Amino acid sequence: MTASQRREQLLSVARELFASKGFDGTSVEEIAARAEVSKPVVYEHFGGKEGVYAVIVDREVQELTAALTGALDAGGHPKVLLERTALALLHYIEDSEDGFRILVRDSPVAQTTGTFSSLIGDVATQVEEILTEQFRINRLDPSSAPLYANMLVGMIALTGQYWLDNRATKKSEVAAHLVNLAWNGLSRMEKKPALMNAK
């Protein structure tokens, strides 16, 4: 194997292990044994388990970011954007199940970027821009758009996590239900919502 082929092999092996066992449950010894190499080979390529993990997370974040921002950048009616975004996440989960499992776990590497939560925050910022415009059009308070953007993105992300292990419902149906709840709720929003029994 060439050095780049060996590197890709190690990443592939480690990705499967991190997805099934998590960061703490995976060791350099296990990565090396599965790849049929010695531990020093893993250290030579990545400097240790943290290095392998960081490369895998970075690749997954880039792939998911591209899918989600592509769905949002395509333009169109806000409902269509919501549909595209929900489907983009579900497509990613379906095509990259191990990657999604790794992303939704707590990151053991202290970082403020390159994690699933930071990615979701970035997507929420993009959604916020779209909602702010729609709120103005519908004479709703645009200052509440960030809150609603985080609610929408969080709803889609948590549904994706649920669907990862509960595949009884088809991807298109999951997306349709998500959009149904989000869109029909958004289309009938009150200008000044209040709780019925607020204390």
Q: What domains are defined for the chain?
A: 56-187 (1.10.357.10)
**Cβ neighbours of residue 161 closer than 8 Å, sequence gap 6 or more:** 104
- Per-residue confidence at 5, pLDDT binned at 50, 70, 90? very high
**Cβ neighbours of residue 66 closer than 8 Å, sequence gap 6 or more:** none
Q: Is the pLDDT of residue 113 over 60?
A: no
Average pLDDT over residues 119-126: 85
- Per-residue confidence at 106, pLDDT binned at 50, 70, 90? low
pLDDT of residue 95: 96
d(CA 48, CA 54): 10
Which of 4-13, 68-77, 101-110 has the least mean pLDDT?
A: 101-110
Quote the tokens at residue 162: 């649920």
pLDDT of residue 137: 85
Q: Is the pLDDT of residue 117 over 60?
A: yes
d(CA 20, CA 3): 26
d(CA 123, CA 83): 14
Q: State CA 130 to chain mean position distance.
A: 19
Three-state DSSP class for residue 22: coil
* 156 or 199, which is more confident: 156
Q: What is the mean pLDDT of the chain?
A: 89
pLDDT of residue 139: 87
Average pLDDT over residues 160-185: 92
What are the distances in angstroms from CA 64 to CA 96, 99, 191?
A: 9, 9, 34
